[in-house]
Amino acid sequence: MRFNSFREMIGYYAENTPEAPALKYEKEGALKTESFAELLAAVDARASELKKGGKTCLGLFADGSRDCIVELFAAVTAGLQLVMLDESVPVMILRGLLPYTDVDTLWGDPETCAELQSSLTSGVENGAGRMLFFTSGTTERSKAVVLTEKSFCSSAYNGGSLLPLDPSDTLMCMLPLGHVFGFVCGLLWGLSCGACVALGRGPRHYIDDLAFFKPTALSAVPLLLGFLVKNGLLNEELKLVLIGAGDCPPPLIQAVKARGVRVSFGYGLTETSSGVALSLGDDPYSMTVCPDDKITIADDGEILIDVPTCIMQGYYKDPEATARAVGSGVLRTGDLGYFDKNGLLRITGRKKDMLVLADGTKLFIPEAEAELSKLLPGVDLAVMLNGSRVVLAVHGTEMSDAELIAAIKPYQDSRPRGQQIGSFARFDRPLPRTATGKIKRWELQKKY
């Protein structure tokens, strides 16, 4: 079904299958179920309260709980602008993000919210329907992408039309809702199909969530999926895994398929409200373009996306960056790919200087290197990737690893864990560069 709003989505099933389970979650150790009718009632009641409250922009620390889901849908239904926040981001950075995004009220851990009270603003005008998601791990270098509930509903429709779930399914939601892949493929995909969504209990329960909720479908990033497979945590009832937000090693996909579980791979961006192509056949790397999307390949191999129903409104308060990305009406992805002989999309790499990490976040290499160079003056350095680990290549220093770690501590402290330097690679000779001084990354990787 295609919906235009979250309330319409929940309301449709509340009217047609009112007793069908919409959410499963744990409360005080017991498994609770909330029907679509109950969820709609809760959303409407909270939306009514929010409307009376007079606030205009909610900063939501999306912990994935049942109350968080109700608050999220209620805020959008009530016409508030919604900003998705990540509690793992240092308070110092959050203090800068709140004024930038016009947040005038917060939902989340009371202690964290109290710390941020002084950074709240007087709100925003005409923010109704806008949902702001941060690219690249919610750091201060991120851009706030302006999406809408309508674009998300379209994205959920696109995914669900290629990969449908039904009311007998339970979709496991374990990923952070502050990332569009987690939000769309962990939550909206299920609800838009009338399926039940099991709300994961956070990292502490990665080891037993699948056994507790017994889902039939799971969306996961490669790192999480690898963890679940390695520790034998996939449940018997599981029949479909949707992988997204990063490259997935073939052996991992084979390990999942060997258990009789169907594996699908999704490709999309924050700017497109999540997925634009999904693999449906045996080859997880050959993807079918979603119904609303038109994808073309530029002369240099860059993937261009034309998807009016799901495309972002722009980067918040950044018209120049918006014009660069979608000025022509088509999104320049920075990804490289081609259509194979069957007309299926295959991704071959990245055009931009960007590392896509195993946890799905992206590391902008020039920014990271500039920051590290300030902390290690005189050191010839470059950031590279070894498997899932970010490696700092260095030349021209006799500092020990411990001294290097101490020197780059400000960088480490300001980054999500997956973006932190995991080890050092020492080079006897200057790092390979082009005539204009740019690192020859392919050569560096080869030497490493």
Partner 1 sequence: MTRQELFDRTVKIIHDCVPELEGVELKEDSVVNTDMGMDSMNFILVICKLEAEFGVRIPNKLWPKLSTLGEVLDAIEKYKK
Residue 204 touches partner 1, criterion: CB under 8 A: yes
Q: How far is the CB of 330 from partner 1 (least distance, A)?
A: 35
| CB nearer partner 1, residue 156 or residue 220 | 220
Residue 212 touches partner 1, criterion: CB under 8 A: no
Residue 445 touches partner 1, criterion: CB under 8 A: no
Judged on CB neighbours under 10 Å (0-12, 13-18, 19+), 295 is: buried
Residue 423 touches partner 1, criterion: CB under 8 A: yes
| Among 21, 244, 275, 418, contact with partner 1 (rule: CB under 8 A) | 418
122: three-class secondary structure by DSSP: coil
| Distance of alpha carbon 155 from alpha carbon 163, whole angstroms | 12
Q: How many residues at the interface with partner 1, by CB under 8 A?
A: 32
DSSP letters spanning 25-55: EEETTEEEEEEHHHHHHHHHHHHHHHHHHT-
Q: Which two tokens stand for residue 194?
A: 């009338």
| CB nearer partner 1, residue 154 or residue 219 | 219
| Among 422, 425, 433, 440, contact with partner 1 (rule: CB under 8 A) | 422
For the stretch 88-92, contacts whose Cβ atoms lie closer than 8 Å and that sit 24 or more positions apart, written own/partner, are 88/416, 89/138, 89/139, 89/416, 90/413, 90/414, 91/115, 91/116
For the chain, the 3-state helix, strand and coil shares in percent, each to the nearest 5, are 35, 25, 40
Residue 224 touches partner 1, criterion: CB under 8 A: yes
* Binding mask of the shown chain, residues 231 to 260, with x at each position contacting partner 1 by CB under 8 A: x-----------------------------
Q: Which two tokens stand for residue 249?
A: 């090693």
| CB nearer partner 1, residue 124 or residue 425 | 425
Q: Using the rule CB under 8 A, give the single segment among 33-41, 161-169, 222-230, 367-375 that binds partner 1.
A: 222-230
Please state the separation of Cα 141 from the chain's center in Å.
16
| Distance of alpha carbon 358 from alpha carbon 248, whole angstroms | 8
Residue 376 touches partner 1, criterion: CB under 8 A: no
| Among 33, 313, 420, 445, contact with partner 1 (rule: CB under 8 A) | 420
Residue 88 touches partner 1, criterion: CB under 8 A: yes
| Distance of alpha carbon 245 from alpha carbon 234, whole angstroms | 20
| CB nearer partner 1, residue 396 or residue 422 | 422
Residue 226 touches partner 1, criterion: CB under 8 A: yes
| CB nearer partner 1, residue 294 or residue 409 | 409
* Binding mask of the shown chain, residues 57 to 86, with x at each position contacting partner 1 by CB under 8 A: ------x-----------------------
Q: Which two tokens stand for residue 320?
A: 């120049």
Q: How far is the CB of 87 from partner 1 (least distance, A)?
A: 5
Phi, psi of 121, deg, nearest 5 = -110, -175
| Among 53, 164, 203, 281, contact with partner 1 (rule: CB under 8 A) | 203
Q: How far is the CB of 394 from partner 1 (least distance, A)?
A: 16
Q: Where are the alpha helices (DSSP H) in 171-214?
A: 180-183, 189-192, 209-213
Q: Using the rule CB under 8 A, give the single segment among 157-165, 173-181, 413-421, 438-446 that binds partner 1.
A: 413-421
Residue 421 touches partner 1, criterion: CB under 8 A: yes
| Among 359, 364, 394, 439, contact with partner 1 (rule: CB under 8 A) | 359
Please, are residues 379 and 369 in contact by the beta-carbon 8 Å criterion?
Answer: no
Residue 371 touches partner 1, criterion: CB under 8 A: no
Please, are residues 148 and 181 in contact by the beta-carbon 8 Å criterion?
Answer: no
| CB nearer partner 1, residue 26 or residue 335 | 26
Q: Footprint of partner 1 on residues 91-130 (CB under 8 A)?
A: 109, 112
Q: How far is the CB of 15 from partner 1 (least distance, A)?
A: 36
Q: Which two tokens stand for residue 419?
A: 């973006």
Strand order in the sheet with 380-386: 380-386, 389-395, 421-426
Residue 348 touches partner 1, criterion: CB under 8 A: no
| Among 32, 417, 438, 447, contact with partner 1 (rule: CB under 8 A) | 417
Q: Footprint of partner 1 on residues 121-180 (CB under 8 A)?
A: none
Helix pair 66-77, 6-16: axis angle to 10 deg: 110
Q: Footprint of partner 1 on residues 383-402 (CB under 8 A)?
A: 388-390, 402
* Region of residue 391 (left: phi > 0; alpha: psi -120 to 50; beta: else): beta
| Distance of alpha carbon 104 from alpha carbon 115, whole angstroms | 14
Binding stretches for partner 1 (CB under 8 A): 63, 87-88, 90, 109, 112, 202-204, 206-207, 223-224, 226-227, 231, 358-359, 388-390, 402, 405, 412-413, 416-418, 420-423
